[in-house]
Structure 1
Amino acid sequence: MEALRVLELYSGIGGMHQALRESQIPARVVAAIDVNTVANEVYKYNFPHTQLLPKTIEGVTIEEFDRLSFNMVLMSPPCQPFTRIGLQGDVTDPRTKSFLYFLDILPRLQKLPTYILLENVKGFEVSSTRDLLIQTIENCGFQYQEFLLSPTSLGIPNSRLRYFLIAKLQSEPLSFQAPGQVLMEFPKFESEYPQEHAVHEEQTTEEKKVELNICFDSNTQHSQKEAFLFKLETAEEIARKFQQDSDLSVQMLKDFLEDDIDMNQYFLPPESLLRYALLLDIVKPTCRRSTCFTKGYGRYIEGTGSVLQTSEDVQIESIYKSLTGLSQEEKITKLLMLKLRYFTPKEIANLLGFPPEFGFPEKIGVKQRYRLLGNSLNVHVVAKLIKILCGKL
């Protein structure tokens, strides 16, 4: 096929661009547009030859869009107007303005793009903004399909449930199209391996409220009755997590961890251990799951992502059971035995599917890296959707 001319909107650190590369679809990103100056530095560091426009979407005129002559649009509009922990301002949120501007521009372009791929948070699928998007692309003649997908469906031990829409300008329905449905798994094709499995709703930890968990070592048999229940954690949740860790189609976390680096800066400080001991989502390298990493990781504890127990020979149940009645100093001493640390930015990038050569400029600090990665997407999931959209699966 002739190389596609791709427009990347809300380009961030380049997750869409990276997915396009991974898909191996002949393509060139003719322009990337983002207003975030720090994200743009990371983008330029990794894609130095791509035209990057540091401006708002609404700062681009229809004439400028036409001159780019693109036939594919990849975009991940701001998710804050639709996230469950936000105000859910939807179309009234100022951060939606740029996307509404693009929807207004789209039908008036000299030449419509052939392909569109959009990513956002779960919650977007029930928004008024989504309804306007669907109305716009239907009026333009696109066939489309919506998905809610998590990387666990590709064997990646990280729950990151996200909304996706793929659309193609054609009169015939897509071969896998399910009108009115939001699919919870990738469509199946004869060329694919049978061992690929669907997204299981019980595996999407984002769907749960902030939960406290324990990872059972895959070599240890624990029954539901034997499990020690943490505050806010039910026996049902523990059983579900144990089931996740028993799913051999998902890789272990240790395959994504860094070796031979100084971990001292990543260990949780004593005051955090004491204050948030019962709110930590703790996993071991042998686990096959981790919760969604958000932009607040490294700054906040509650609900921002899993922490890693690096002292694997210490039984977490015995540590927690022994805390009752201890002084604060004694509790800290016990908790420090677990050697709990944050995942490094590189490890999170690995879980998100960024390749080994992907990096950050040295001046970008650790907390800035966490923030940028928390706003990014899973490269492998998007790469597969691009191949499906272009008929290469």
Structure 2
Amino acid sequence: MEPLRVLELYSGIGGMHQALRESCVPAHVVAAIDVNTVANEVYKYNFPHTLLLAKTIEGITLEEFDSLSFNMILMSPPCQPFTRIGLQGDKTDPRASSFLYLLNILPRLQKLPKYILLENVKGFEVSSTRDLLIQTIENCGFQYQEFLLSPTSLGIPNSRLRYFLIAKLQSEPLPFQVPGQVLMEFPKIGSENPQTHAVDTEKKIEPNICQHGSTRCSGKETVLFKLETTKEIDRKHQQDSDLSVQTLKDFLEHDIDVNKYLLPPKLLQRYALILDIVRPTCRRSVCFTKGYGSFVEGTGSVLQTAEDVQIENIYKSLSNLSEEEKITKLLMLKLRYFTPKEIANLLGFPPEFGFPEKITVKQRYRLLGNSLNVHIVAKLIKILYE
């Protein structure tokens, strides 16, 4: 069978390309297209033999698209028009224009691709851009299914809920297709068991192995000593008790200069009460965004590397101390950022994936925050192809 000819749009650092490799589907990336010059440096470094076009999608004519004669599109269009924290401008956001251009081109191609896979943020599924996408692919004769999936459903200790669409050019529905529904789990393939993304609330909770320092539960009493709700704390306990998920230590680097990644005293002083702190034995971490390492709130978890220090005792002792004493206490936790390599590991990039030396740590965080989970996409490519 001829290998698939794949067009990778908004290629970034190559998460889709990596997923294609992992899926073991016979395929060849005919071209990758992205306008981000730093991301393109990383892409070239890891996929030196792929044709990489550093141009906007609107800058590619219908004829040029036709000349690539691809039969699969993998894409991750800009998510800013649809994010929770953005302006949610949807179709009116200038950053959506390249995708709208693409939807206009698709029906006019000489030969339609057989497969499409798209990734975006949660929120895309309720946008008018999504409605236009569905209308376009239905008119072209595609059968499709939408998903909201997080890496935790594959046993990866990182929450990163994302929207996915897979579409196939055929007249009969996909075997697992549920029209009008966004699935929260992978469909069964053959004899496989479905993997649910949600933590089963009926699941018996094992003793909590990771004391992530948000609470102490004695009987029904929950002790709050950080800016968290009881509900958040219960959710974290539940995540840490889910033995189907690996512990973070499986994803950590061991030969790093820890001092390079320690949180500075000033940050500790200002943000101590809102940090999401995890330990190597935890089975969870929050979504790493492109602001990780530059901003603190909501950009990703930090790691407590002092193993013998009880976080609870540290936090409880803070209230009567001077600012200087508080910092001294907090420094005992040895809190550090995850390294770019560790975040890449959690995102499913293989050990050989790397960055050119000239790409700064800040740039690496930014690029990874804009990337996707490789394992999830690999599994969806397989499902789509089979």
**C-alpha offsets along residues 153-208 of structure 1, whole Å, 9 cap, x if unaligned?**
0000000000000000000000000000000000012332x4x63010689xxxxx
CA shift at 1:235, angstroms? Answer: 1.8
| Contact 2:216–2:223 (8 Å) recurs in 1 | no
Question: What is aligned with 2:178?
Answer: 178
Question: What is aligned with 2:360?
Answer: 365
Other structure's SS at 2:119 match: strand
Q: 1:129-278, aligned counterparts within 5 Å?
A: 129-192=129-192, 194=193, 197-200=195-198, 216=211, 222-223=217-218, 225-278=220-273
RMSD of Structure 2 on Structure 1 (CA): 1.7
| 134 and 357 in structure 1: CA distance in 2 versus 1, 3 angstrom threshold | same
Question: What is aligned with 1:314?
Answer: 309
Other structure's SS at 1:81 match: helix
**C-alpha offsets along residues 242-277 of structure 1, whole Å, 9 cap, x if unaligned?**
111111110000000001111111000000000000
Q: Which runs of 5+ in 2 are unaligned?
A: 202-208
| Contact 2:302–2:338 (8 Å) recurs in 1 | yes
Question: What is aligned with 2:206?
Answer: none
Other structure's SS at 1:18 match: helix
| 260 and 287 in structure 1: CA distance in 2 versus 1, 3 angstrom threshold | same
**C-alpha offsets along residues 360-388 of structure 1, whole Å, 9 cap, x if unaligned?**
00000000000000000000000000000
| Contact 1:215–1:241 (8 Å) recurs in 2 | no
| 224 and 330 in structure 1: CA distance in 2 versus 1, 3 angstrom threshold | farther
| 74 and 224 in structure 1: CA distance in 2 versus 1, 3 angstrom threshold | farther
| Contact 1:224–1:235 (8 Å) recurs in 2 | no
- How many equivalent pairs are there? 378
Letter aligned with residue 51 of structure 1: L
**Distance (whole Å) between structure 1 residues aligned to residue 383 and residue 323 of structure 2:** 55
Letter aligned with residue 289 of structure 1: R
**Distance (whole Å) between structure 2 residues aligned to residue 254 and residue 22 of structure 1:** 23
Letter aligned with residue 252 of structure 1: T
| 383 and 351 in structure 1: CA distance in 2 versus 1, 3 angstrom threshold | same
Q: 1:118-133, aligned counterparts within 5 Å?
A: 118-133=118-133
Q: TM-score, normalised by structure 2?
A: 0.95
Letter aligned with residue 187 of structure 1: P
| Contact 1:66–1:109 (8 Å) recurs in 2 | yes
Q: 1:1-393, aligned counterparts within 5 Å?
A: 1-192=1-192, 194=193, 197-200=195-198, 216=211, 222-223=217-218, 225-391=220-386
CA shift at 1:238, angstroms? Answer: 1.1
CA shift at 1:104, angstroms? Answer: 0.2
Question: What is aligned with 2:204?
Answer: none
**Distance (whole Å) between structure 2 residues aligned to residue 37 and residue 215 of structure 1:** 41
**Distance (whole Å) between structure 2 residues aligned to residue 81 and residue 361 of structure 1:** 30
| Contact 2:303–2:338 (8 Å) recurs in 1 | yes
| Contact 1:216–1:222 (8 Å) recurs in 2 | no
CA shift at 1:9, angstroms? Answer: 0.2
Other structure's SS at 2:342 match: helix
**Distance (whole Å) between structure 2 residues aligned to residue 221 and residue 271 of structure 1:** 27
**Distance (whole Å) between structure 1 residues aligned to residue 315 and residue 216 of structure 2:** 19
Which has the higher mean CA deviation after the structures are superposed, 111-120 or 257-266? Answer: 257-266
Letter aligned with residue 344 of structure 1: T
**C-alpha offsets along residues 203-229 of structure 1, whole Å, 9 cap, x if unaligned?**
9xxxxxxxxxx95269x9944745431
Other structure's SS at 1:32 match: strand
Q: TM-score, normalised by structure 1?
A: 0.93
| Contact 1:224–1:239 (8 Å) recurs in 2 | no
Letter aligned with residue 324 of structure 2: E
